[in-house]
Copies of this chain bind each other. A is one copy, B any other.
Amino acid sequence: MPNQVLDKRQAARVNIGESLGMKGSRKVVNITRLRQACRTCSLVELCLPMGLTSDDIQQLESIVKVKGPLEKGAHLFREGDSFQAIFAVRTGALKTYSLDADGREHVLGFHLPGELLGFDAIYPRYNRCSAMALADTSVCVLPFNQLADLAQKVSGLQATILRLMSKNLSISANLATDHTAEERLAGFLLSIAQRTGEGSELRLVMPRRDIASYLRLATETVSRLLARFQQEELLEVHRKRVRLIDLDGLRDLGGSFEIADRTRQRSGYQ
């Protein structure tokens, strides 16, 4: 099992050039492994299923730059920065957050390997939130103007961007609905399990405080609920290590909060 996890990490470390090359013509790589590594809002989803020619792929590749490593606690961008690019997480993880008038931090999202961030800044042309590395992190930079120009030429790319933004919209809308602490946390754990592809053996990169903020709960509530879930034999938890035991039980609790499942099923991509 630890081996498998390592494999996935390795796969996620493939840069976007290589992942595109695969679908094109240049290099043969184990696609299943890559898919496993990059599940949600992923480069795979961005690059693979949209019928690009290898020429299109070269073009996309040419506008992408790698940035990093960004060390834990460093910012990728800050609230108020002018908007330049969409980012794709390669390794590590980021949180996006904003500060309200009273200086309270609100975590808006977590961004795991293979996921994209920055779409919310297109409209106002400046970043509405800050993005901080939760661990040492490297990202791909997709300069937005060039990306948009390319999407103009490549219909599959436009379609993919629209779908990704639509998906983000659903996730946010779902997060905005009214659920109990129990539902939120169960749904959150299921979503992390799915997005990391780690199966039932999770390592939570983010501290409790951030999980709590994201789910609009107090840190203590998250802690207590995890303890209760453990007592009810839904999972085992020790600090950052979580082992999901009763997935169906968790789904019963968090099903209506969990979103990725339903969208995944219909999307047509494993």
* Residue in B120, B125, B164, B165 whose beta carbon sits within 8 Å of that of A173 in the complex: B120
Give the residue name and chain of the B residue nearest to A152 (CB).
B155
Instruction: Determine whether the beta carbon of B120 is less than 8 Å from that of A216.
Output: no
Chain A stretch 95-140: residues in CB contact (< 8 A) with chain B: 98, 100-102, 106, 108-109, 119-126, 128-129
| Candidate in A108, A109, A121, A172 with the most chain B CB atoms within 10 angstroms | A172
Instruction: Determine whether the beta carbon of A169 is less than 8 Å from that of B165.
Output: yes
Binds B, one of A61-69, A175-183, A221-229, A234-242: A175-183
Tell me if A243 counts as interface (CB < 8 A to partner B).
no
Give the residue name and chain of the B residue nearest to A217 (CB).
B178
Contact (A123, B158) CB under 8 Å given A172-B176, A173-B108, A177-B106: no
Give the residue name and chain of the B residue nearest to A101 (CB).
B256
Q: How large is the interface on A (under 10, 10 to 19, 20 to 34, 35 or more residues)?
A: 35 or more
Give the residue name and chain of the B residue nearest to A161 (CB).
B162
* Residue in B109, B159, B255 whose beta carbon sits within 8 Å of that of A101 in the complex: B255
Tell me if A168 counts as interface (CB < 8 A to partner B).
yes
Give the residue name and chain of the B residue nearest to A154 (CB).
B152
Contact (A125, B266) CB under 8 Å given A120-B170, A158-B152, A162-B165: yes
Instruction: Determine whether the beta carbon of A266 is less than 8 Å from that of B166.
Output: no
| Candidate in A109, A120, A155 with the most chain B CB atoms within 10 angstroms | A120
A36 CB → nearest B CB, Å: 21
Residues of B within 8 A of A128 (CB): 170, 173
Instruction: Determine whether the beta carbon of B255 is less than 8 Å from that of A162.
Output: no
Instruction: Determine whether the beta carbon of B170 is less than 8 Å from that of A169.
Output: no
Residues of B within 8 A of A166 (CB): 119-124, 165
| Candidate in A101, A161, A169 with the most chain B CB atoms within 10 angstroms | A169
Tell me if A267 counts as interface (CB < 8 A to partner B).
yes
A122 CB → nearest B CB, Å: 4
Residues of B within 8 A of A176 (CB): 108, 172, 175-176, 216
Tell me if A26 counts as interface (CB < 8 A to partner B).
no
Residues of B within 8 A of A175 (CB): 172, 176
Question: How far is A254 from B129 in the complex, measured between Cα atoms in Å?
Answer: 19
Contact (A169, B172) CB under 8 Å given A123-B267, A177-B106: yes
Residues of B within 8 A of A173 (CB): 108-109, 120, 128-129, 172
